[in-house]
Amino acid sequence: MRFQLSGDQAALRAGVRELLARLFDGEALRAAVDSSGLDRELWRELGAAGFFALRVPEADGGVGLGLPEAVLVFEEAGRVLLPGPLVATHLAAGAVDGAAEGEVVVAGVDRGGLVEWLDEADVVRGDAAGAVALRSVDPLTPLHRVPGALPRAVDPVAVLLTAAEQLGTATRAGELAVQHARTREQFGQPIGAFQAVKHLCAQMLVRAETARAAVYAAAVTADPVDIAAARLLADEAAERGARDCLQVHGGMGFTWECEVQLLVKRAWVRARRGGGGAESEELLAVDLLA
């Protein structure tokens, strides 16, 4: 079995990274935090690039690619902290008019009764009646909760795409930590020369690469058990990686001007999407006992 990306997949990832670098760079991230709203022009640009229609058959006007390619795209979205109900709109493409083109923003009520970006959504999948606004720790993920919402079955694809976003965030945390460790000096040398900092960066890399293997494998098998394992590993890589990145940055990592605190907050919020990892843990436990 080949685990390397194909030439087309590598080109897709490079193209998406280049596109997002143009559409949503660091300045755009800061502007999004300050505005606290969804950029509709950006949403339409994503639609025009095929972000939402990636898995819609070509006969229906989509790109006609598969789950492995979607994982690569969502990994890049997680790497730059792209805001908005990306997973919900992607899953609605082909079923909700305008979603594939980015003309319609779709939100969804998840298993835990949470709804992301409810006020910005044109269409809400699930019953959001009586939803109450919550104070979200992440300024780029406004949240509502539906009181008394009945548990809903979780779409494995939604779980996997969330894991892919977490993987992208874990990767970005590692990049920022290494960059800072190479340039920040103490006692006349880069802090990356100190063993404690080396260990933090190495652990971030190991967790991210372990999660990457699991996420990519689950994208190929589409097996619910594989997806559950990928979600748990990706959540851990993102949450612990962002926290370790914060530690490498020291006091400046907590400041509003630093991107690291945004990585931490997004990882926290995503890890609780769809009711958190409880269902994935239960699915793995049942499989181990079978």
**SS3 of 115, please?**
strand
pLDDT at residue 2, rounded to an integer? 66
DSSP-derived letter for residue 238 is H
Could you identify the residue written with the tokens 């949240």?
143
Q: What mean pLDDT is predicted for residues 211-220?
A: 96
What is the per-residue burial (b if ≥16 Cβ within 10 Å, else e) of 110-139?
bbbbbbbbbebbebbbbebeebeeeebebb
> Is the pLDDT at 35 greater than 90, yes or no?
no
Give yes or no for residue 83 having a pLDDT over 70: yes
Q: Report whether pLDDT(3) > 80.
A: no
Mean pLDDT of the chain: 93
pLDDT band, residue 257 (cuts 50/70/90):
confident
Taking 60 as the threshold, does the pLDDT of residue 216 lie above it?
yes
Query: Residue 34 pLDDT > 80, yes or no?
Result: yes
Token output for 261: 């605190």
Residue range 106-152, pLDDT digits in tens? 999 998 889 999 999 999 999 999 999 999 999 999 999 999 877 77
State how far the Cα of 264 lies from the Cα of 71, in Å rounded to an integer: 21
- Does pLDDT of 51 surpass 60? yes
- According to DSSP, residue 37 is labeled S
Q: Indicate whether 184 pLDDT > 80.
A: yes
Average pLDDT score over residue span 99-105:
97
Q: Report the b/e string of 249-260 with b at 16+ CB within 10 A.
A: beeebeeeebbb
Collapsing DSSP to helix, strand or coil, 123 comes out as strand
Average pLDDT of span 240-245: 96
pLDDT at 152 (0 to 100): 73
Global confidence as pTM: 0.95
Taking a C-beta distance cutoff of 8 angstroms, is the pair 210, 62 a contact? no
Say how many residues make up the chain: 290
